[in-house]
Chain A
Amino acid sequence: MIKWFRTITFIVALLFLGTGVFIVDAPTEMTQAGQAYNHRDWDQAMRHARRAVFSSGANKELAARALKLESAIAVKLGHPETAFACLNETISIQPDCNLCYLQRGDLFYSQKNYPDAVRDFEKGLKTADAVKDKTKAYYNARLGLSLLSVGEDQKALAASEQARRLDPVSPLAYFLESKIRTQLGDLQGAFKFAHTAYQLGQKQPGFFSSPEGDMWLKYYAGVRVRYENAQHAR
């Protein structure tokens, strides 16, 4: 009798203790995920976002928000495969999420999968009216770079113009234009745009400190050397 009483008491105590922990509230989890993200605690932000997804139930909007956050964290921590999975799931929940297509396009671009990047950028930009001009300019520049990589120079030129029109101080847009000029054999134009991009990049904190920024610095140095050699040869 005593044995049964002890067992039941133990189970009840465990249930009582566990109730507050095992019942997960999706909006609370999402709030905590946001707070952890703001504190740059990626592990906790990821954990709370995942808990929010699991407990979201019929709240698809919240699940999509949590998945987008998961994808952003995965990108920050260098796990593109997880970011892809999260974005694919978000797109399956919200097929009209244009930012999801743009972000997935960015991932394809970073994986050097340019045809898929072009497809996603075009799809995302088609309905991106609500997206900020600066963001649209960034993705237009990315689209242009992807188009250039698949040999669609004329389309790349249009994307470059669009990017510079939307954000006249975007170094990426000017670097894109410089690359197009290089492709077209206009070395003077390439140097002019690369130089402007370099000056704009210096004014943008963090632009040249990323691995991509380093790549653009090397590109600028290469264009500059070639341009100056051509000037000396004359």
Chain B
Amino acid sequence: MTTHQTPSVRLENASLSFGERTLWSRLDLEIEQGEYFAVLGPNGSGKSTLLKAMLGLIGLSGGSLRILDRPARRGNPEIGYVPQQRPFPSEAPLRARDLVGLGVDGHRWGPGLFSATRRRRVDELLERVGASEYASVPVGLLSGGEQQRLRVAQALASRPRILLCDEALLSLDLNHQQAVSRLIEEYRRESGATVVFVTHEINPIIDDVDRVLYLANGRFRAGSVEDVMTTRALSALYGARVEVVKVNGRYVVVGAGPGEGAEDCHAHDVEGGA
């Protein structure tokens, strides 16, 4: 099943709006199979909404969105989803292995108890992300980094051809960001999967990214990192002066002062302020 001709994701004249508010419109985009594609932009720019559309959870307001040459639909097994880290209640009756198990067959009907096949698959996935040693620990007691490894294992359970990551490295410290992003990149190289990574922080994945889509203020720009992450391109998107500085291969975006319509780009200020 070689699908080099079929793009993983194809958006044609796509637009999305909630009532009066248009998040983006006339978006044409093709993401090739095997590509590492980052979707960037400040909060509220519609990047997570784009991801939800790919997952088939919301429909577009106009245009078309095809995943592997078929219309986007809910529960597509070709898609693996790595969410943002969120704490679990410490009382949740769920161990690390159970969380991964949900990725294997949690969507199926029936109790599905005592399945040896699932057990083996879960062990294999835990091993793959280096989580075997805390397999039986309640998820509520795991650190954010440990939880995100499990999230990757959970997403890989269906051997997806597309991996959608939604701020998957947010609130992890630098070491865990690297460890988790390495797991994602390893899977991409090994399986030829496409990665679509939604983030407002490109630096943790900068070494792996092929192309980016930057969304801001209802405008967007797609291209290589070098093309998009420039003072000129981002200033045009934000409609305000935004400085992009590259330091040691990492990008620092410094927004204009508040009140100039670019308050959102403070999202990138963290490098500058550190």
A in complex with B: no
Binding site for A on B (CB under 8 A): none
A residues in contact (CB < 8 Å) with B: none
